[in-house]
Structure 1
């Protein structure tokens, strides 16, 4: 059915629960997993006249974000290892997580995106925005939305 599943995470408790469910799902299908963390792009401080000396360079920012991303991807890596699921992790920089999720799924040849959702609807979804909803509207491959009842 599905052979390569993309699982985006932001390191939150909800995302970790969804990734765990996704890895269990991947194990049942004997599918590979690509876990993705999308970090915001570096923003050069153009709104001030003098750049403070403690402002990180783009390289310093990206290095710090990669370290943070690795810590967020570690639970997925551990769960995949324990389940015996083939695993790959990816860190991307983009100010539009939904676009990057769809792009990475295409780039890595994934045939399913398994993504968590807070389950908000109506005004709550409109006010807060929803990466999951944006992925659904942008994507041309199947998207499985995992809703964790505990959250």
Structure 2
């Protein structure tokens, strides 16, 4: 039914758990998976006229975020290999993660986006919830929102 499924993650435990459920869903549907991590865009310090020597340059930031993203996507890659699911990954840079996910899913001709509703706790939970809401509002393709079962 679904040929290509996009599964975003923020690297948190609940987000990773939802992503692994997405891999299982993809295996059941014999679908290909594209794992996605959206990193914030590089921000130049605005409080000084020159960049402090301890502040990372844009290339260092880019390399670090790509490394972090690959670490976050690794559990998905391993699960996909075990399940026999074709897997590829993308690291995106955007301050509007919801828009980046929706745009990437369209550009990659995905049939479905599978994502958790809350990947973090506290304020992060609110922010990721808003990412899910943004994706739901922007996408013209189906979005399957995975809700984690509460531990008793």
Q: TM-score, normalised by structure 1?
A: 0.91
Specify the alignment match of 1:54 in structure 2: 54
Map 1:1-151; keep pairs closer than 5 Å. 1-118=1-118, 128-129=126-127, 130-150=130-150
- Tell me by how many angstroms 1:107 deviates: 1.2
For the residues of structure 2 that align with 1:91 and 1:56, how far apart are their CA atoms? Answer: 19
Question: Where do 5+ consecutive residues of structure 2 fail to align?
Answer: none
- Is the CA contact 2:8–2:101 (under 8 Å) kept in the aligned structure 1? yes
What SS does structure 1 have at the residue aligned with 2:68? helix
For the residues of structure 2 that align with 1:51 and 1:61, how far apart are their CA atoms? Answer: 14
- Tell me by how many angstroms 1:47 deviates: 2.3
What SS does structure 1 have at the residue aligned with 2:48? coil
Residues 83-124 of structure 1, C-alpha deviations (whole Å, 9 max, x = no match): 0100001000000000000011011110100000129xxxx9
- Tell me by how many angstroms 1:68 deviates: 0.7
Structure 1 stretches of 4+ with a deviation exceeding 3 A read none
Q: Please, which moves more after superposition, 135-144 or 50-59? A: 50-59
The CA RMSD measured in Å over matched residues stands at 1.8
For the residues of structure 1 that align with 2:78 and 2:118, how far apart are their CA atoms? Answer: 24
For the residues of structure 2 that align with 1:64 and 1:105, how far apart are their CA atoms? Answer: 24
What SS does structure 1 have at the residue aligned with 2:54? coil
